[in-house]
Amino acid sequence: MELQLGGSALSSAAKSKLRDCGNLTRDDFDGGPVSIDEIEPGLFLGTQFLLLCNLTAATHMETLRSFKITHVLTLDSVPLPQHIVEASFLTTKYVQIADMTREDILQHLEACVDFIVAALEHGGNVLVHCYFGVSRSSSAVIAYIMKRHNLDYQPAYELVKNKRRFVQPNAGFVAQLKLFRRMGYKIDHSFQRYTMHRLRLAGEQMRKAKILPQSFHNVVRPDPDIARENPEPSVYRCRRCRRILASKSHVLEHRPRNMTMSANHDTTQGDAMPMTAACSSSEPRLLEQLANRMRKSSLGSPSHDSTGASNQCRSLLFVEPIAWMPRIMLNTQGRLYCPKCEQKLGNFSWINACQCPCGETMTPAFYLIPSKVELSKAVQNVQTTV
């Protein structure tokens, strides 16, 4: 089922305003051709036809009534007009988001799906829309279809596209929808790919603002050396002063791209090259043996992806940003020093890629040089971490 309406894209008053001051608002637009498509019974996907000039808004309120729309989900950079939000027959939800590949739509998908489910379960009809009904709103509908029918992204996308031919989430949204599927249609904070997704978004903000915004402070993990009730069983310590630096859950695993390079790289180098070049480090035999044991014991850990944790590279120890790391919220890159003995431990960069000797790259990158740290077990840590 499809409804199409026509209209001039720009009113005469808006054209006059554009000539006078060059500034336009959404109310200056008549909206142009608009459409509504029924994807599944009770679920409609459409354009931002509600943000029209006041002369035609009442007409489109009647359109809502004619389709028996009871719930409206808006994904846009501006909210609905107040008279729509306050309509007695509507329940509305607004998600502020721009149609840009770097936007984090993933954090909203679960709530959007829940809104759609609640509307349909109560016998309502729900309209999901953005300005053009192409990328943002279609992403929310695809997420719902994926979860409802237990589908991967591509079949869910094709199902929606068969109902509305011009849907096309941008490339960033597509990647996030695929990640949404891999996490089981919910946010899993222990899932490493989700961690990297959030870190990359934080890196983009650091590139622009040179400071970590408050909304991304949660990507910085608590200091594992601070007393806690249930310490993790395995931790990395400073080799010189034995200060706890990272827990197993802080480690960001990666598989070697070049096994030969990883196996034969110089194990005597104690420092690392700049973040834009290959980052080298030493790898003591004892640490490698302990790391192998840790990997075997953690194969079933929820902190590891389903791709498996075996054969992980230990040329560099990439970790999440941790609270003891000095000034990481105020600097885009720098060196990491032990907070106790001030030994250099590694480097970090929010904005530049670090290439491991194995050939894999990490962005952003926070790494510890394996020769500067040692792996320790829980029995040895109880007195200092409990």
- At residue 304, the pLDDT reads 42
Domain boundary among 187, 205, 238: 187
Q: Is pLDDT of 205 > 60?
A: yes
Q: Which amino acid is at 286?
A: L
Domain boundary among 138, 172, 187: 187
172 in any annotated domain: yes
Q: Give the whole-angstrom CA distance, residue 126 versus residue 129.
A: 10
Together in a domain, 88 and 223? no
Q: Is pLDDT of 157 > 60?
A: yes
CB burial of 357-382 (b: ≥16 within 10 Å; e: otherwise) equals: bbbbebbbbbbbbbbbbbbbeeeebe
Domain boundary among 169, 187, 205: 187
What CATH code is carried by the domain that includes residue 182?
A: 3.90.190.10
Together in a domain, 256 and 368? yes
Q: Is pLDDT of 305 > 50?
A: no
- At residue 58, the pLDDT reads 53
Together in a domain, 161 and 17? yes
- At residue 53, the pLDDT reads 36
243 in any annotated domain: yes
Together in a domain, 18 and 159? yes
Together in a domain, 175 and 257? no
- At residue 366, the pLDDT reads 97
Together in a domain, 152 and 272? no
207 in any annotated domain: no
How many domains does the chain divide into?
A: 2
Start-to-end C-alpha separation, the chain: 62
201 in any annotated domain: no
Q: Give the whole-angstrom CA distance, residue 18 versus residue 125.
A: 38
Together in a domain, 132 and 180? yes
Q: Is pLDDT of 224 > 80?
A: yes
Q: Give the whole-angstrom CA distance, residue 231 versus residue 386.
A: 7
Together in a domain, 302 and 363? yes
341 in any annotated domain: yes
Together in a domain, 172 and 260? no
From 61, 1, 5, select the one nearest 33 (Cα to Cα): 5
Pairing of strands 317-318, 365-368: antiparallel
How many of the other CB atoms lie within 10 Å of CB of 329?
A: 19
Q: Is pLDDT of 121 > 90?
A: yes
Q: Which residues participate in catalysis according to the annotation?
A: 130
208 in any annotated domain: no
The parent domain of residue 320 ranges over 219-385
**Model-level pTM?**
0.75
Together in a domain, 15 and 153? yes
Together in a domain, 259 and 174? no
Query: Does residue 126 contact residue 71 with C-beta atoms inside 8 Å?
Result: yes
Q: Give the whole-angstrom CA distance, residue 140 versus residue 147.
A: 11
The pLDDT of 37-46, averaged and rounded, is: 95
- At residue 258, the pLDDT reads 64
Q: Poorest-confidence range of 220-224, 279-283, 312-316, 355-359? A: 279-283
Polymer length in residues for the chain = 386
302 in any annotated domain: yes
Together in a domain, 241 and 123? no
52 in any annotated domain: yes
Confidence tier at 256 by pLDDT (50, 70, 90) = confident
SS (H, E, C) the chain: CEEEECCCCECHHHHHHHHHCCCCCHHHECCCCEEEEEEECCEEEECCCCCCCHHHHHHHHHHHHHCCEEEEEEEECCCCCHHHHCCCCCEEEEEECCCCCCCCCHHHHHHHHHHHHHHHHCCCEEEEECCCCCCHHHHHHHHHHHHHHCCCHHHHHHHHHHHCCCCCCCHHHHHHHHHHHHCCCCCCCCCHHHHHHHHHHHHHHHHHHCCCCHHHHHHCECCCCCCCCCCCCEEEEECCCCCEEEEHHHECCCCCCCHHHHHHCCCCCCCCCCCCCECCCCCCHHHHHHHHHHHHHCCCCCCCCCCCCCCCCCCCEEECCECCCCCCCCCCEEEEECCCCCCEEEEEECCCCEECCCCCEECCEEEECHHHEEEEEHHHCHHHHC
The pair of three-digit structure tokens given for residue 331, joined into one six-digit string:
């600097």
From 10, 343, 36, select the one nearest 164 (Cα to Cα): 36
- At residue 83, the pLDDT reads 82
